[in-house]
Structure 1
Amino acid sequence: MAIATLTMTDEQRKSVALEYLKAFDNAGVTSTGGSILDLFAADAQVMFPKWGLATGREQIGRLFADVGGSLASITHHYAEFTWVFSGSDLVVVEGTSHGEHKEGPWRAGVPEWGAGRWCDVFEIRDFLIQRCFIYLDPDYAGKDTARYPWLSES
């Protein structure tokens, strides 16, 4: 990771995280028309469940292409976000989403056990994302039910 040179406030870190989430909702295009990858440091890391750890913009681009290739659309519910600031470079945001996966639609809470609830842990320095670990159920269409007997009971 790069050495920090610019001091940032929590609100500035929040604005970088929001720009990332809004770009994800906009097929990877930022509010200025740039690529979502421009929001990351050159040696950044992103972790996505069932994909693994991507290091550097090239691998992060491949991760986003793989995950994004299975989604027709996604919308994050910004008004419902919960933000946690650490007093350092870490920002945690918990939220909900809905969208269309290639295997079907999803919406947080429908069903209650399904996809749509998520939590992202960001490390943001120098106005760039250094690390983003994404915690969610990647079974957007809710098809992986055979391995969980309690789901057939609902």
Structure 2
Amino acid sequence: MSRSSEVSKNVAAVKEYFVRGDAGRMDMLDLFTDEFQFYFPKFGIGKGKAEFAQFVQGLIGSLKSISHDIEALKFLEGHNFVVVEGTTEGVYGDGTSWSGGDTPGGRFSSVFEFRDDGLISRMHIYLDPDYSGKDTDRFLWGADRWW
């Protein structure tokens, strides 16, 4: 991003994706090309708006709530990409909650690639989908580590 306080159109699109997604607005798909590629751990690679909508339904179906700390997002930008790092908080369907930075899960990084027309053509999300840290058998250094 430039040294000025202006937010680039690509960073603005990424922020808008999180705002719309946190509000449960499927018009977030208007920010993507029709056949964009996406990745999410435990889901794998997907392609297109219809498959992404199925992915969202599956993810949201397991949660009571999820939100991103949009004001604290960190961005790294190149000509046609934006990398973002941030945290989420939310509640699973069973009532277990998490808050990135306070619990083992809830931290993420995502890579967005853009076409020249400003639409997102690729989004890969990197995180541990065990948001609340229930998978304690794989905490190699113990479950009492500070997050």
TM-score normalised by length of structure 2: 0.86
Looking at structure 1, the residues matched to 133 and 108 of structure 2 have their Cα atoms a distance apart, in angstroms, of 15
Question: 109, 130, 136: which is aligned to 1:145?
Answer: 136
Looking at structure 1, the residues matched to 14 and 114 of structure 2 have their Cα atoms a distance apart, in angstroms, of 8
Task: Specify the SS of the correspondent of 1:110.
Answer: coil
Looking at structure 2, the residues matched to 57 and 85 of structure 1 have their Cα atoms a distance apart, in angstroms, of 24
Output the aligned Cα RMSD: 1.8
Looking at structure 2, the residues matched to 75 and 129 of structure 1 have their Cα atoms a distance apart, in angstroms, of 21
The residue type paired with residue 143 of structure 1 is K
* Structure 2 gaps, min length 5: 1-5
Alignment match, 2:8: 11
TM-score normalised by length of structure 1: 0.82
Q: Aligned residues, how many?
A: 138
Alignment match, 1:115: 105
In the TM superposition, residue 63 of structure 1 has moved relative to its aligned partner by 1.1
Task: Specify the SS of the correspondent of 1:35.
Answer: helix
Alignment match, 1:96: 87
The residue type paired with residue 114 of structure 2 is I
* Structure 1 gaps, min length 5: 1-8
In the TM superposition, residue 10 of structure 1 has moved relative to its aligned partner by 6.8
Alignment match, 2:66: 74
Looking at structure 1, the residues matched to 144 and 63 of structure 2 have their Cα atoms a distance apart, in angstroms, of 28
